[in-house]
Structure 1
Amino acid sequence: MGEDGSGRTPELTTERARTAGPRQAWAGLPWPVQTAVTWSACLVVVVTGLWLLGKIAVLLAPLAIALAGTLFLTALLDPVLLLLRRLRVPAAPAALLTILLLLGVLVGVGALVWNLTASQFGELSQQLDQGVERSRDFVTSTLPVTEAQLDRLIQQARQGLSGGAPDPIRGARTAAEVAGSLLFALVLLFFLLKDGRSMWRWVLRRMTGPNRAVTAEAGRVGWRTLGSYSRGTMMIAAIDATGIGLALVVLRVPLALPLALITFLGGFVPIIGATVAGAVAVLVALAANGPTTALLTLAAVIAVQQIEGNLLEPLIMKRQVQLHPAVILIVVTAGTLIAGIAGAFVSVPIAAVTWRVIDTVQRHRSPAPA
């Protein structure tokens, strides 16, 4: 093997020359071109990853929704389980008693509401139809829209809804999937309440080095965020339902209890749920008592929601859930498109927990400031 005058072998010189060509060509490009190529490659990788995650989420939507709902209930019921454990109740009976308490509350509240409002839901539908008719008259009298054009738009919307309605076979299959998901969620809820902490400790014991501390901190922050969101959302929804329900009673709007129940359920879907529930209440007030009562109902709904958004939510949620309203709208819309109403319910807590975990890991891995 010979060497050139610099003491390097010809093979080494040839290899370096071969690798130096692309580097010199890349270095010779203008910096805007280098930046555009780099960001385009990163964008392609990110979009491909998001597309794959979306396909997986659509395929596993029932499992993902059941798992997310189970984690939501676990975080909500965790204080009850801890109270039973402090009273020296073993893990398995404590988890079973917690689930039975949940089922008892749901069945009791559902039976009470049904007995009080079952005869009023038919009237609620009629009141909504009358409210829509009055709104239609208001639109045609104040806006440059004729009755024929408005009827055509309404007919197109109805055709779209009826065209998207599932057939009986698909409906039966969906009902079977829902029943299976509920059974799966109850069984998984029992095991998470019974062995959730021991499972987490098992995961941490399998990690070594600094990853254990980062994972433990991220897990604590994520679990705290989910618990704060679940309990805070329930409290805020109950306060909204109580406030709007009292306003409807004072204004003598009929069907106050069903409307309060709709408001409570809508509180679990941020922004969109409150808007829809408030619109239903205003329509019923318009149909029952006229535009003056409808305007007063609208003012009451806005006042309650402003108090909830500016005072109660920061006080109850504190700083555990930090998502911009625009992000919440996007997340709720994406969850609805993927899994319907169930996706709308669980999309925000998933996004909040994911953001808090990523933020915690990022802060741990970032170098300390000088």
Structure 2
Amino acid sequence: MVDDGGGDTTDGGRRARPATDGGDVRAATDGGRVRPATDEGRGGPPVTGAGQGAGPRQAWAGLPWLVRSAVLWSACLVVVVAGLYLVGKIAVLLAPLAIALAATLFLTALLDPVLLLLRRLRLPAALAALLTVLFLLGILVGVGVLVWNLTASQFSELSQELDQGLQRTRDFVTSTLPVTDDQLDKLIRQTRDGLGGGAPDPVGGARTAAEVAGSVLLSLVLLFFLLKDGRSMWHWVLRRTTGPNRDVAAEAGRVGWRTLGAYSRGTMIIAAIDALGIGLALVLLRVPLALPLALITFLGGFVPIIGATVAGAVAVLVALAAKGPTVALLTLAAVIAVQQIEGNLLEPLVMKRQVQLHPAVVLVAVTAGTLIAGIAGAFVSVPITAVAYRVIDTVQRHRQAAARPPAPA
């Protein structure tokens, strides 16, 4: 029998005194069962039995610290990956809008110095934004017309040269490696089906063209408004932020915007230098179609690592088809030399420390962006990663500075 009033317990005439610890009754036995009593030191209700509250906490505390850390980090990683996956799926579903927004932010950061120059001339914001957009359209249209007039007749030759280069590469592979023609054809067919997704659909092609045209028009309109009212929009956001978070948000926004601007301008400069260097090497080696190959190199420069590799491979294939293996090897050496100079000298000099990312991080980001959104994802993955890294680093440094104790007077 248990005396609910906290008295002694009898069992066969023997009296058992309750265990005490500073006046707190911890437990009393009743037929082999353990019943904790009220924890008077905390002034709370009676503590329940093991497995009903204290048990899970005790079990968690009894785990090794390494296991607990692994569980917590794994849970955080799952939440972050799930959030990124959800954002990626939404971006894919709204692909035209997402591409338009990404292109608008990229172009705004790229053209911001032009806008500031016009504003220093005391032009109104609307007129300065309009002139900046017209400046961009003039450059794009002018370069497009010039390149088309110089290379339109050569693109068909480029396709033929690539076919010949691929045929020579195929002959080399089948004669050197233990691979038959049927096996190679099967591999090429599987790769083409995986990349192309079957036969072209005229209706799907028309819909894609309409989406691209709509995205371009939307980007131009958004570009005008961001150039005209972008800073006032950001100030409006900051005014809605209270307390110390306002300074953190302002600093993170400035750092992120500087990073995006440095990346956009630096990428364009580096792509132009790569195209000029490889194009000059192709001209010296008398490789045909040097201008179209330089244009491909320039466009490939906007996709770090992978774009330069693909553009260099195209140049080597054309040299192999047109001039033979010796000139192809010299072209390969020129491509490698230009890329090494760009990666080790130009990129640190042009990009500065604001957008420096490890090549492994860049490769993973480009691959993830390609898998999520194709070519558009490959273009925007690295700037998104660079801006996110700089923003997170800025917020972390502010938190560390706030948690640091003040220096003694």
Fold shared by both chains (TM-score > 0.5):
yes
Displacement of 1:49 in angstroms is 2.5
Q: How does 1:84-233 map to 2 (within 5 A)?
A: 84-161=118-195, 163-233=197-267
Contact 1:3 1:9 in 2 (8 A): no
Which of structure 1's runs of 4+ aligned residues deviate more than 3 A?
2-11, 15-22, 28-44, 155-166, 367-370
Deviates more, 1:337-346 or 1:180-189: 337-346
Gaps of 5+ in 1: none
Distance in 2 separating the partners of 1:166 and 1:158: 12
Aligned to 2:404: 368
Displacement of 1:330 in angstroms is 1.6
Q: Name the amino acid aligned to 1:360.
A: T
Displacement of 1:201 in angstroms is 1.2
Aligned to 1:258: 292
Aligned to 1:336: 370
Q: Which has the higher strand share?
A: 2
Q: Name the amino acid aligned to 1:91.
A: A
Distance in 1 separating the partners of 2:151 and 2:172: 30
Aligned to 1:283: 317
CA distance 1:207–1:249, shift in 2 (3 Å): same
Contact 2:348 2:356 in 1 (8 A): no
Distance in 2 separating the partners of 1:202 and 1:329: 37
Distance in 2 separating the partners of 1:220 and 1:229: 14
Displacement of 1:34 in angstroms is 3.7
Q: How does 1:304-343 map to 2 (within 5 A)?
A: 304-343=338-377
Aligned to 2:115: 81
Aligned to 2:75: 41
Choose from 9, 14, 20 the match for 2:46: 14
CA distance 1:162–1:196, shift in 2 (3 Å): closer
Aligned to 1:353: 387
RMSD across aligned positions (CA) = 2.4
TM-score (norm 1): 0.93
Distance in 2 separating the partners of 1:82 and 1:168: 45
Distance in 2 separating the partners of 1:164 and 1:363: 50
Deviates more, 1:203-212 or 1:93-102: 203-212
Displacement of 1:350 in angstroms is 1.0
Distance in 1 separating the partners of 2:64 and 2:340: 52
Q: How does 1:231-246 map to 2 (within 5 A)?
A: 231-246=265-280
CA distance 1:204–1:254, shift in 2 (3 Å): same
Displacement of 1:16 in angstroms is 7.2
Displacement of 1:41 in angstroms is 3.3
Contact 1:3 1:10 in 2 (8 A): no
CA distance 1:33–1:288, shift in 2 (3 Å): closer
CA distance 1:292–1:201, shift in 2 (3 Å): same
- Larger relative contact order, structure 1 or 2 (CA cutoff 8 Å, min sep 6): 1
Contact 1:332 1:344 in 2 (8 A): yes
Distance in 2 separating the partners of 1:10 and 1:314: 61
Choose from 288, 294, 301 the match for 2:335: 301
Displacement of 1:31 in angstroms is 4.5
CA distance 1:23–1:235, shift in 2 (3 Å): same
TM-score (norm 2): 0.84
Displacement of 1:166 in angstroms is 4.0
Contact 2:114 2:132 in 1 (8 A): yes
The percent identity for this pair of structures is 82
Distance in 2 separating the partners of 1:157 and 1:246: 33
